Amino acid sequence: MKDIFRFAITLTVVALSAAGSLVWINSITKPKIRLQQENVLTEALAYVLGGSEKGVIEPVQENGEIVYYKGFRDKDKTALIGYAFLVPCQGYSSTIQTLVAIDSSGAILAVKILSQQETPGLGTRCEEILSGESDPWWQRQFVGQNGSEVAVDKDGGPIRAITGATITSRAVTNGIASRTRYLLEKIRCTSDEQRTLQNDIIGGSHGR
Amino acid sequence: MAVDKEFIKGIYAENPVFRLMLGLCPTLAVSTSVNNAFGMGASVIFVLACSNLVISIVRKIVPSKIRIPIFIIIIATFVTLVDLVLAGFLPDLHKSLGLFIPLIVVNCIILGRAEAFASKNGIFLSMADGLGMGIGFTLALVIISTFREILGNGTWLGMPVLGSTFQPVLLMILPPGAFLMIGFLIGFFNWLEHRKSVST
């Protein structure tokens, strides 16, 4: 009986000190981690909306949440590059966060996978950079494709699925297609309203 | 004298994967490429050395009947700590190792060494044991992943080695390939040991 109390107290003390040290470490690292994540998103936005370094990237909100971003080539917001948006999709073993940029016709400008925890050696190859190249080969395939109709080769589309990781490839590709369809409709609705108001600002985007 | 003996044994004579059969689960998962093998190996060396050290320090105050839950708490705390610190201060390293860090908690090598060695031995011996076992685990991962990456993908550390005419054996990258490769390698090391014992 005496032992039970001794064990319970020892375990409580150990668990409390473990929890305490983690709380302390977490309070130090949490703001840093958030800052890192914001940096990752800012860098990724500048990457997918190439050419926006001198311009502005403007978030478009709906009900207090950012739905997509508009990228402009200049500070006056006249030359539109395109739209960027996050595509969360359920892969094989994790939620894959992908940032996609399209122009106003719906063609993909660039794709960047922000986070994923797929199977090492299989699904993780969606971020694989071959030696001598600077960007991941799998994500490069999306450039120039019609965003709302992308599909993997096994479904008759132009995107080559990663060998042994069709689930990951298909999840990202189908996620991009359905999200693009959804947002393109939304964007066209709002831009029609704007067109009547301020004389076609979308036209500037076709220069790319 | 004894310290270097404890260090050396983990590399071959008591190699965790090939001889003790510990940590086979993460071995299956991350031996698909040599790059992953080094990443997982580095994380395990660090956590194993640290947890062995802490457990060796507290071994005399921990009641033996509840030692296992206490060891688990210490190991899990360490792994979470490493994860948070890497994410906050070394984001690039965290991006490449991040995947393997949560896997370390369930790596039986860590608990196995805590129970079998660190809870019975002094600080320096436990550190040496942790480092040696960690390096032995890394070597085993690198050997297995070398075969799997070359046969299954035609590359080594991402560099093409077998030319473009080589048709990769996809099976080797998939989980069955890991079972086959580990089986062949354990067989090979057992054969080596057997030959040694026959000749003496």
Query: What ipTM did this prediction achieve?
Result: 0.71
Nearest to A18 among B73, B170, B174 (CB): B73
Nearest to A14 among B70, B81, B85 (CB): B70
More confident residue, A18 or B157: A18
pLDDT beyond 80 at A132: no
* A21 touching B (Cβ < 8 Å): yes
| pLDDT value at residue A139 | 94
Q: Which of B55, B57, B66 to mutate to test the interface with A (most CBs of A within 10 A)?
A: B66
How remote is the C-alpha of B52 from its chain's centroid? 14
Check CB contact under 8 Å for B84 and A15: no
Check CB contact under 8 Å for B170 and A164: yes
Check CB contact under 8 Å for B84 and A25: yes
CA distance A14 to chain B (A): 7
Check CB contact under 8 Å for B63 and A32: no
Q: Which of A16, A162, A163, A168 to mutate to test the interface with B (most CBs of B within 10 A)?
A: A163
Block residue for tokens 């860590």:
B110
Give B160's contacts in chain A (Cβ within 8 Å).
131
| pLDDT value at residue A204 | 46
pLDDT digits (tens, 9 = 90+) for A152-177: 999 988 999 988 889 999 999 999 99
Q: Is A90 helix (H, G, I), strand (E, B) or coil?
A: strand
Nearest to A10 among B63, B74, B77 (CB): B63
Tell me the pLDDT of chain B averaged across its residues.
87
Mean pLDDT by 10 residues, chain B (200 residues): 84 89 85 84 88 91 88 89 84 73 83 91 93 95 93 83 80 87 93 87
Check CB contact under 8 Å for A18 and B158: no
Give A38's contacts in chain B (Cβ within 8 Å).
none
Residue of B nearest to A12 (CA): B70
Check CB contact under 8 Å for A33 and B88: yes
Query: Which residue ranges make up each domain of chain A?
Result: 49-207
Q: Which of B84, B94, B166 to mutate to test the interface with A (most CBs of A within 10 A)?
A: B84
Give B88's contacts in chain A (Cβ within 8 Å).
28-30, 32-33, 36
More confident residue, B169 or A191: B169
Nearest to A25 among B36, B85, B158 (CB): B85
3-state secondary structure chain B: CHHHHHHHHCCCCCCCCCCCCCCHHHHHHHCCCHHHHHHHHHHHHHHHHHHHHHHHHHCCCCCHHHHHHHHHHHHHHHHHHHHHHHHHHCHHHHHHHCCCHHHHHCCHHHHHHHHHHHCCCCHHHHHHHHHHHHHHHHHHHHHHHHHHHHHHHCEECCEECCCCCCCCCHHHCCHHHHHHHHHHHHHHHHHHHHHHHHHC
Least confident span in A59-68, A85-94, A108-117, A187-196 = A187-196
Cα–Cα dist B188/B1, whole Å: 31
Check CB contact under 8 Å for A32 and B88: yes
